[in-house]
Amino acid sequence: MTALRIGARTSPLARTQADWVAARLEALGVDCQFVGVTTAGDVDQRELTQIGGTGVFVGAVRSGLVRGTIDVAVHSLKDLPTADEDGLRVAAVPVREDVRDVVVGAGLAELSERARSGRPVRVGTGSPRRASQLRQWAADHDVALEVVPVRGNVDTRIGHVSGGELDATLLAAAGLRRLGRLVHEQPDGACRVVAGEGSVPAELVGTDVLLPAAGQGALAVEVAVDGGHDRLHLVDRLDDPETRARVVAERTFLATLEAGCLAPVGVLASLSAPAAGASATSQPQNLTLDAVIGRTIGSDVDDRSGPELLRVRGAGPAQEARRIGTELAEQALARLGDDLRR
Ligand SMILES: NCc1[nH]cc(CCC(=O)O)c1CC(=O)O
């Protein structure tokens, strides 16, 4: 019996995610084999906002599916463009990891304290979503903040922190946890991130401060619609319907805004149990969608005064995830006027 070829980028995180999927397929009796794919996003060190945005990480992996050199592709869902790809199908969205971002180098309280002692705190991120929300946090707490555009892998970024050029950097908790680098987690969010021989202080930031990117912490397991392998249908069994409903709402919201993964948009769907007394089968779960949109979207210069972010919230039955996402985005667009329609 030939093994299912699981394709992903060759970065440590992509490899770990592919292995995680492979372990779950092997538990269903499917032999798996890893096939590493190098992508444009891995070889290009320019700022991500300059290399053409959405899809740089997934293009090469997807073409492996199309050409038949791999049977299954494993992506970070937040890197996957929201448009459907002809001939491909997201067979599974497995159970989601932590959706939060981590501030690595110092917690938020420590950062505001440092800002009191004279110079602005320097936080490195190349993500407009993180930057706009952090600027809002700084404005709300009267913290002098300088956002420094950085990119590169986890160690490069933490190197800037250890070297003193940055007070902190922001990374997704999901990636750090999957790599086993998120340690000593405390109930209040305080934690440490493993770096080299030691570790640096860090904090899991609440979603009241930083809403994640659409699909953050989730994986997309993609297959070719006409993939030849006889056991390919077993991939469908890795799908988690709750994660699927949440990311459908988040990605529909993003797609309706016509904003890609580099837009200053944070969005998070959460599910809550049906009303007490209702039977689980007759009463659908309730889905709440929270989002923030940076008002600088579509312009390079921040020439606006007033709040950095527009906050919106919508809700409805989880089965209507797509409609909830679309309607909330339409509502947000109406409130932003034509700013978003570049
Ligand atoms: N944009 C790169 C990327 N894509 C997925 C992850 C981490 C895993 C995840 O968020 O699901 C990261 C790194 C990061 O944002 O820190």
pTM confidence score? 0.91
Predicted pLDDT of residue 335: 87
In the block, tokens 């463009």 appear at 81
Q: Which residues contact 111 (CB under 8 A, 6 or more apart)?
A: 103, 121, 123, 143, 167, 168
**Among residues 298, 104, 76, which one has the least CA distance to residue 182?**
104
Which among 100, 216, 261 is the best mutation to test ligand 1's pocket, defined by most ligand atoms within 8 Å of the CB? 216
List, in order of start, the domains of the chain with CATH numbers. 4-96+218-239 (3.40.190.10), 101-204 (3.40.190), 246-336 (3.30.160.40)
Q: Is 79 in the pocket of ligand 1 (CB under 6 A)?
A: yes
Which residue puts its alpha carbon closest to atom 1 of ligand 1? 79
Cβ count near 163 (within 10 Å): 8
Cβ count near 121 (within 10 Å): 25
Which atom of ligand 1 is the closest one to the Cα of 170?
16
Task: Give the helix/strand (H/E) hosting 286.
Answer: strand 286-294
Predicted pLDDT of residue 274: 76
Q: Is 171 in the pocket of ligand 1 (CB under 6 A)?
A: yes
Question: Which regions of the chain are under pLDDT 50?
Answer: 47-53, 297-305, 340-342
Q: How far is the CA of 100 from the centre of ligand 1 (A)?
A: 11
Which residue puts its alpha carbon closest to atom 2 of ligand 1? 79
Which among 76, 96, 104 is the best mutation to test ligand 1's pocket, defined by most ligand atoms within 8 Å of the CB? 76
**Interface ipTM:** 0.95
Predicted pLDDT of residue 262: 61
Task: Give the helix/strand (H/E) hosting 65.
Answer: helix 59-67
Task: Give the helix/strand (H/E) hosting 60.
Answer: helix 59-67
Which residue puts its alpha carbon closest to atom 7 of ligand 1? 175
Which residue puts its alpha carbon closest to atom 8 of ligand 1? 175
For residue 251, which phi and psi values (nearest 5 degrees)? -75, -30
Which residue puts its alpha carbon closest to atom 11 of ligand 1? 217
Distances (CA, A) of 268 to 117, 123, 215, 218, 219: 35, 23, 8, 12, 15
Q: How far is the CA of 337 from the centre of ligand 1 (A)?
A: 31
Which among 13, 61, 211 is the best mutation to test ligand 1's pocket, defined by most ligand atoms within 8 Å of the CB? 13
Question: How many angstroms separate the CA atoms of 11 and 42, rounded?
Answer: 8
Predicted pLDDT of residue 43: 57
Q: Is 174 in the pocket of ligand 1 (CB under 6 A)?
A: yes
SS3 content of the chain, % helix, strand, coil (to 5): 35, 25, 40
